[in-house]
Structure 1
Amino acid sequence: MKTHRLSAAVLALGSAVALAGCGSDPASEVAADCEPAHQFETVEDGVLTVALTNTPPYSFEENGEAAGIDSDILATVAEQECLTVEYEAYTYATAVPAVETGRVDVAVGGFYRTGARGEVVTLSAPVYLDELTVMSADGVSTVDDLVGKQVGTVEGYLWVDALRELLGDGLRTYPDSLSLAQDLTAGRLDIGLDGYGAAAQSTDGTDLEIAVLETDPRVPATEEPSQTSLLLDPSNDGLATAVDEHIATMREDGSLVEILEANGLPASAAEVGDPRLI
């Protein structure tokens, strides 16, 4: 799994984290002769400002470094565009308005392509697929298995409203995947629900089992794997064009699959199909 070094300030919510866009040394400056592949403006000149959610393996902070699939993708974008990168820590709930209002250029964290998000931010081209996954001690896999249990999930996922209607007080939401995993492994929850990649990461080294939640019309998110996107500043068409072209190139040259596999997702997750909203 690739990581990108952060300053110690990332340990505080909203703290900025510098990351070099060109060169292998995270502390280095962009090379003077670096030629960007595209021309576009950013919130801060020469810097790609990124809202980083703590949602392994999509994006997270680990030992003072930014890590995960989306972080690796943006490192490639920054290198090609001669930008340094500053990551700022956000929750799922706060990252979207940060992009919408132009406080950051991009938000990362395995965000699903939803119609509601597409109304307030620009969604990048689909990046990879993810599925609603159950974490439990006994491998439960149906919606009926959730009823009557203490269930946790991450706020901001598209399935939260349907589950809240179904489970009522039996559903507890968390600001990020790590908080969810901590309560689940501590026994404060019976079942955890997360994206497949996050669930696999959270249960690694534990006795918990994971299973994709079986299709059930009461939870529409079970009916088709969700496509993920990077969330982009809606006022910056040039940035969106550049990011989409880099994603396409990474898919074609195989580097996207390498990133997915290094972070625990199968190569098939790169086979997104035509863009769609849920």
Structure 2
Amino acid sequence: MKRQLKQASLVSCLALGMGGAGLALADNHVLEVVTDPSFVPFEMMDTETGEMVGFDMDILEEVAQRAGFEYNLRTMDFNGIIPAVQTGNVDVAIAGITITEEREKIVDFSDPYYDSGLRLLVTANEDDIQELDDLEGKKVATKIGSTSYDFLQKNLESADITPYPGTSDMYMALLGGSVDAAFYDAPNVGYFSQTKGQGRVKVVGPLYEGQQYGIAFAEGSDWVEPVNEALAAMKEDGTYDEIHAKWFGSASGE
């Protein structure tokens, strides 16, 4: 499969690429890309094929073809992704990364490619928690290194905030009764509530802190402009809408 080729660890395998990809290989445009394996449905492991799939993975594949590079893809915990880009250990990161002023000081971002925010998730029979203020004195789960964790730290004074390494750990803590609520990125929360959590959890309250996701690059990367051009072209010709509809439904309803 094409994605298997892109995720191959040996650069020699990439020599099979054709067309624009072949030209990129001739110029040694093989970038090291990192993602988080647990941000469903943006990136997740297909247990049957062992490949990474998701909205971000489809965006990455399309952007790479248009911008003219091949890539080796690897995974790591989200809290290590920005430092990996900052230190130059990887060239690119795509993992539902919120563009923030703090992060922009140490890495370069593409233009935003997804509008998001933060949402609150509780068990289906929980009626006392309807908004963020109701979390005072409660136990709330979120993800290590995420903007949702930073938001809770700034906006809740007496809640017991527990950061988990992965979203699956966070959601299992909620279902198991270890926490009273989970607070995280809206698309991920919504996807879980409609899939594995259906009938067991519910999304409550408003959308907090509107956010935008961007693709992260090492500072000064020459690939920011080509990637921005690719993203713009994808939105112009409808390719972005097709990918969005595959994972979330119509982009107009976002």
Structure 2 length as normaliser, TM-score?
0.82
Q: 1:186 to 1:86 in 2, by over 3 A?
A: farther
C-alpha displacement of 1:182: 2.3
Which runs of 5 or more structure 1 residues have no equivalent in the other structure?
A: 8-16, 22-26, 216-221, 271-278
Match status 1:239 vs 2:223: yes
Counterpart of 1:147 in structure 2: which amino acid? E
Q: 1:131 to 1:161 in 2, by over 3 A?
A: closer
Counterpart of 2:236 in structure 1: which amino acid? E
Contact 1:20 1:30 in 2 (8 A): no
Structure 1 length as normaliser, TM-score?
0.76
Alignment of 1:177-256 (within 5 A): 177-203=167-193, 204-206=195-197, 207-211=200-204, 213-214=205-206, 222-223=208-209, 225-236=210-221, 238-256=222-240
Per the alignment, residue 115 of structure 1 pairs with 101
Per the alignment, residue 156 of structure 1 pairs with 145
C-alpha displacement of 1:71: 1.1
Q: 1:19 to 1:233 in 2, by over 3 A?
A: same
Per the alignment, residue 242 of structure 2 pairs with 258
Contact 2:20 2:65 in 1 (8 A): no
Alignment of 1:1-278 (within 5 A): 4-5=3-4, 17-18=7-8, 29-32=15-18, 34-35=19-20, 45-53=28-36, 54-63=38-47, 64-137=50-123, 138=126, 140-165=129-154, 166-168=156-158, 170-203=160-193, 204-206=195-197, 207-211=200-204, 213-214=205-206, 222-223=208-209, 225-236=210-221, 238-264=222-248, 266-268=250-252
Q: 1:235 to 1:191 in 2, by over 3 A?
A: same
- Structure with the higher helix share, 1 or 2: 2
Contact 1:19 1:84 in 2 (8 A): no
Q: What percentage of aligned pairs have identical amino acids?
A: 25
Q: 1:85 to 1:37 in 2, by over 3 A?
A: closer
CA distance in 1, matches of 2:167, 2:40: 7
Q: Secondary structure at the match of 1:131?
A: strand
CA RMSD of aligned residues (A): 3.1
C-alpha displacement of 1:200: 1.9
Which runs of 5 or more structure 2 residues have no equivalent in the other structure?
A: none
